[in-house]
């Protein structure tokens, strides 16, 4: 996932030298540190930062200055502690004495980024002050013997809150119904008061001091009413006590634009579409066999003239629409899951159609290479109906802009109807979930979590600022109650909406333990008790390793290598980059790869290097493709293109092991997704400019085949089989319907040539894009041929058992690359798999692949391809006497003995 406009950071946590304050001098005159001989710099007295970290009820981690006489925490209920001219003062200050100690091994294991910090223990005489201190402003201070303030800073409190309020982890939060009566429960341990604003009236709430949960129970007549919490709390982001009126983090229903939460019981039969209770799902497909179509709800239907409900959940119930018919064709061919881009409540779209801006231009009237389209679209992006949705507002409510009425429970019913319709079409449903960040933090209008428990739910850096390495305000899923929110939210989607799988955005920013807790909670769901079989729900995500959590800096991350063997898959970028060429972030997008003509069909880009460099890189790419075909197995051994015997982990991928999986299903293969250019657009840049439309289509199918015919699951962006284009847009998260909509009818084209892509993310590539937009073509013959050929490959993948091997040992035993070695043909990968031989010929010439050990064994073109839609692959031949397979240019041929 990417968003533009927010600078990415990869901030490492460093030990920050700070100072502390002296308890003995509380009554003494306080002089500015700068005025005292030998005192610390006044920069150390800075209450705009929070450099002290209170990790449990007994321990504070804070690097102090040498020579301080004493250290303490100061607390102020009214937030009056201030610094003026280097002097620390306050009207109602209370204190907690701290003594020097050392972090235990257990504490270092819990907070590895703090292992080099100085530790301070809470004086036993002051332990009864801890809970009260946490309900106001906190300052860590250090003084000299004469009362001089040497240093002062705010305090991070997530660790101590987790320690003090452990019982909250078992609390039922949000609206909970017992015998028809609703109870509303919110965790707000640092709040000074919480009340319920219900339909304009205010109701008192009761605090449980053991858990920090505030609760109120009302009559059945509360059902359907709107509510907010009124929370009085110290907010470090503005450094004052504030009273926030805020929606429920555990909301299950909302009014339009998320203005109010609604008291709703999701078990209410009136919210279930007809047949919901007895919904029969398609056969469960194990993760290792999943064939997934990634799809955005609005992209699916907004420009489908045959849809009666364009742009909404209900479009999936339009059985006669072009989009629905195409999804059913894919399902019959072997597609098993539709992966929906975020459909939870998001912050980036006005939910009422009347409030949604529309480009005020005749977009179709402009030339294919014009900049006018993107200029016009850009004027409305902030207020139009489009966004990918990676801006979480409320994690457990369906997005309202996709409902026919965003103001109430229609979104609940219509979301369920969408799931039901897709299941009826033979497709299970995956939700793209984004628990690694929120749309905003602090006192921002779309900040929910941070306005209820400030400084807890967001991950803080060493100075107390909110980390935003994911693009936005990172969440701290390592903290108990944020981790609980993830588990509770996923379980709600599974139980109440019968979602069949979850794809976790930037999963590497979450602890592995949190993902395993999700898996455990889902596994506990049973058809008899919950209406779903949780063990059949699949999980996968982005296991990228970057940011303030990189290299397990704060916890064991849910990254590619760490998740191997857990049953939770991660996207594998290794073969993706090898097939496409270069990386998605190359300054010159023409860098070629195995599936885009490197060496065998070179373009004119100097970025590809010399001929010899191209050949060497292509052969290495072929090794990466082979590792991908094994399911990215780390221990699979084969002969690489240099003639060396290597393991998957021994093949280099930009300094990292190419293979990292323990078993098929650990890695998810793909050639394109919503991020970066679509596959067609990437090939438009990379293939030689004169490549014919037919050859472009064939290379598209070949590139898709490297994922489809691999061990383990595979994902494809919806429409890729139809040569889907976004007119070369590499980051279309907010580029509107014009650039994003899928065109199911080939008469409408494939989306290419709809103008220069938006300047914000693409202007540096306009020099390459402009000529392509008027010359590259794809018409109905190429679109329909590519889709039919892809469906043939799907049928082979999902009907041949050898593509569904269960263990690494089985893959090692049954899969090989018989021609891999120093004499391997550049641009060709030949795979033997049980009684199958698969030849990937990415070159522009017919290729002969002789496997001597197979001489005398009868092989023939696979019956699906022999009777299939592609006339070119039907010209493939096998010579039994010599064991030679002949495959036409730009073709994937599957032979069976």
Just list the catalytic residues.
Answer: 505, 542
Residue keyed to tokens 């490959």:
793
- Distance spanning both ends of the chain, measured CA to CA: 43
Please give the DSSP secondary-structure letter assigned to residue 796.
H
User: Do 86 and 45 contact (CB within 8 A), yes or no?
Assistant: yes
Taking each helix axis as running N to C, give the angle between helix 410-424 and helix 480-497, from 0 to 180 degrees, rounded to the nearest 10.
Answer: 60
CA distance 732 to 298: 13
Mark out the alpha helices in 88-155 (DSSP H runs): 105-110, 130-133
CB proximity list for 761: less than 8 A, separation 6 or greater = 4, 729, 730, 731
Tokens of 704: 């898709």
CA-nearest of 326, 568, 562, 563 to 433 is: 568
Distance CA 126, CA 124 (A): 5
**Run of H or E residues at 417:** helix 410-424
Q: What is the CA radius of gyration of the chain?
A: 30
Cβ within 8 Å of residue 665, ≥6 positions away: 286, 287, 288, 567, 569, 631, 712, 713
CA 690 to CA 684: how far, in whole Å? 10
Identify the residue whose tokens are 């504070």.
60
Q: Residues 256, 254, 674, CA angle at the centre, nearest 5°?
A: 80
Q: Which token pair is 603? A: 């373009």
Q: Rounded distance, CA 885 to CA 860, Å? A: 9
**DSSP-based three-state secondary structure for 22:** coil
CB 660 within 8 A of CB 564: yes
What does residue 340 show for φ and ψ, rounded to 5 degrees? Answer: -90, 125
Per-residue tokens: 304: 């489908």
Beta strands at 344-346 and 860-861: parallel, antiparallel or unpaired:
unpaired
Minimal CA–CA distance to 176: which of 186, 187, 184?
A: 184
Q: Which residues contact 867 (CB under 8 A, 6 or more apart)?
A: none
SS3 27: coil
| Helix then strand then coil, % of the chain, to nearest 5 | 30, 20, 45
The per-residue b/e assignment along 231-247, b for 16 or more CB within 10 angstroms, e otherwise, is bebbbbbeeebbebebb
Separation of alpha carbons 706 and 892, rounded Å: 9
User: Which is nearest to 156 in space by CA: 549, 476, 557?
Assistant: 476
The CA–CA distances, whole Å, from 393 to 258, 480, 604, 675 equal 8, 20, 46, 21
Query: Would the CA dihedral through 564, 567, 571, 572 be positive or negative?
Result: positive
**74: which strand partners?**
95, 139
Sign of CA dihedral 602, 603, 608, 609: positive
Whole-number Å distance between alpha carbons of 511 and 476: 9
Query: Residue 91: which of 102, 77, 82, 80 has the closest Cα?
Result: 80
CA distances from 414 to 314, 337, 346, 399, 891 (A): 6, 19, 17, 11, 43
């Amino acid at each position: 996932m990417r968003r533009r406009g927010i600078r990415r950071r990869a901030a490492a946590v460093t030990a920050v030298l700070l100072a502390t304050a002296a308890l003995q001098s509380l009554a003494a005159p306080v002089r500015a540190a700068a005025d005292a001989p030998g005192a610390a710099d006044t920069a150390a007295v800075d209450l705009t930062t929070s450099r002290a970290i209170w990790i449990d009820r007994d321990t504070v981690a804070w690097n102090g200055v040498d020579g301080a006489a004493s250290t303490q925490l100061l607390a102020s209920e009214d937030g009056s502690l201030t610094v003026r001219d280097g002097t620390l003062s306050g009207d109602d200050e209370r204190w907690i004495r701290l003594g020097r100690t050392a972090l235990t091994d257990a504490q270092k294991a819990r907070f590895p980024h703090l292992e080099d910090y100085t530790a301070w223990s809470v004086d036993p005489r002051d332990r009864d002050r801890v809970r009260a201190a946490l309900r106001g402003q906190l300052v860590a201070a250090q003084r000299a013997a004469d009362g001089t303030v040497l240093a002062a800073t705010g305090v991070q409190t997530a660790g101590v809150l987790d320690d003090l309020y452990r019982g909250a982890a078992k609390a039922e939060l949000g609206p909970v119904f017992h015998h028809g009566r609703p109870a509303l429960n919110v965790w707000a341990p640092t709040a000074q008061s919480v009340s319920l604003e219900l339909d304009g009236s205010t109701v008192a709430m009761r605090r449980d001091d053991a858990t920090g949960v505030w609760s109120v129970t009302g009559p059945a007549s509360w059902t359907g009413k709107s509510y907010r919490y009124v929370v009085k709390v110290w907010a470090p982001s503005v450094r004052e006590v504030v009273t926030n009126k805020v929606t429920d983090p555990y909301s299950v229903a909302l009014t339009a634009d998320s203005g109010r939460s609604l008291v709703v019981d999701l078990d209410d039969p009136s919210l279930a579409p007809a047949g919901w209770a007895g919904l029969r799902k398609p056969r469960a497909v194990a993760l290792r066999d999943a064939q997934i179509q990634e799809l955005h709800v609005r992209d699916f239907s907004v420009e489908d003239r045959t849809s009666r409900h364009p742009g909404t959940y209900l479009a999936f119930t339009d059985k006669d629409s072009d989009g629905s018919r195409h999804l059913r064709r894919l399902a019959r061919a072997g597609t098993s899951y539709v992966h929906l881009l975020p459909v939870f409540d998001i912050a980036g779209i006005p939910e009422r159609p009347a409030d949604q801006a529309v480009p005020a231009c005749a977009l179709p009237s402009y030339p294919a290479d014009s900049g006018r389209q993107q200029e016009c679209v850009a004027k409305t992006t902030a207020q139009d109906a489009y966004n990918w949705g990676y801006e979480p507002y409320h994690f457990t409510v369906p997005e309202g802009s996709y409902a026919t009425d965003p103001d109430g429970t229609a979104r609940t019913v219509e979301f369920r109807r969408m799931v039901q319709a897709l299941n009826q079409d033979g497709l299970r449903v995956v939700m793209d979930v984004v628990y690694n960040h929120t749309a905003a933090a602090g006192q921002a209008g779309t900040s929910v979590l941070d306005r209820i428990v400030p400084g807890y739910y967001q991950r803080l850096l060493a100075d107390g600022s909110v980390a935003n390495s994911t693009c936005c305000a990172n969440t701290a899923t390592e903290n108990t109650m944020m981790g609980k929110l993830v588990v509770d939210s996923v379980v709600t989607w599974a139980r109440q909406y019968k979602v069949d799988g979850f794809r976790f955005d930037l999963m590497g920013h979450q602890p592995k333990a949190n993902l395993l807790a999700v898996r455990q909670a889902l596994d506990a769901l049973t058809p008899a008790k919950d209406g779903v079989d949780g063990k059949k729900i699949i999980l996968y995500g982005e296991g990228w390793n970057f940011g303030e959590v990189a290299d397990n800096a704060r916890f064991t991350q849910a990254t590619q290598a760490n998740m191997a063997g857990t049953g939770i898959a991660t996207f594998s970028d290794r073969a993706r980059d090898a097939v496409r060429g270069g990386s998605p972030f190359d300054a010159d997008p023409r860098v070629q790869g195995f599936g885009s003509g490197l060496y065998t069909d070179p373009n004119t880009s100097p970025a590809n290097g010399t001929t010899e460099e191209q050949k060497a890189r292509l052969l290495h790419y072929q090794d990466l493709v082979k590792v991908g075909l094994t399911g990215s197995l780390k221990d699979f051994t084969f002969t690489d293109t240099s003639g060396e015997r290597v393991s998957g982990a021994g093949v280099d991928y930009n300094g990292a092991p190419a293979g990292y999986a323990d078993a098929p299903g650990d890695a998810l293969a793909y050639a394109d997704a919503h991020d970066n250019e679509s596959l067609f657009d990437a090939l438009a840049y990379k293939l030689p400019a004169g490549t014919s439309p037919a050859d472009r289509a064939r290379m598209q199918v070949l590139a898709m085949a490297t994922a489809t015919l691999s061990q383990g699951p595979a994902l494809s962006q919806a429409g890729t089989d139809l040569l889907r284009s976004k007119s070369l847009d590499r980051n279309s998260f907010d580029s509107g319907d014009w650039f994003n909509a899928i065109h199911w009818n080939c008469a409408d084209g494939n989306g290419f040539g709809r103008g220069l892509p938006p300047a914000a993310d693409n202007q540096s590539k306009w020099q390459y894009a402009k000529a392509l937009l008027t010359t590259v073509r794809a018409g109905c013959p190429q679109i329909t041929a590519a889709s039919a050929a892809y469906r043939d490959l799907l049928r082979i993948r999902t009907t041949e058992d050898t593509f569904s091997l269960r263990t690494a040992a089985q893959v090692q035993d049954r899969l090989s690359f018989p021609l891999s070695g120093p004499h391997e043909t550049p641009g060709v990968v030949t795979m033997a798999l049980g009684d199958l031989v698969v030849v990937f010929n990415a070159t522009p010439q017919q290729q002969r692949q002789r496997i001597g050990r197979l001489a005398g064994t009868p092989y023939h073109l696979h019956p699906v391809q022999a009777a299939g839609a592609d006339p070119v692959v039907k010209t493939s031949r096998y010579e039994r006497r010599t064991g030679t397979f002949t495959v036409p240019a730009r073709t994937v041929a599957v032979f069976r003995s």
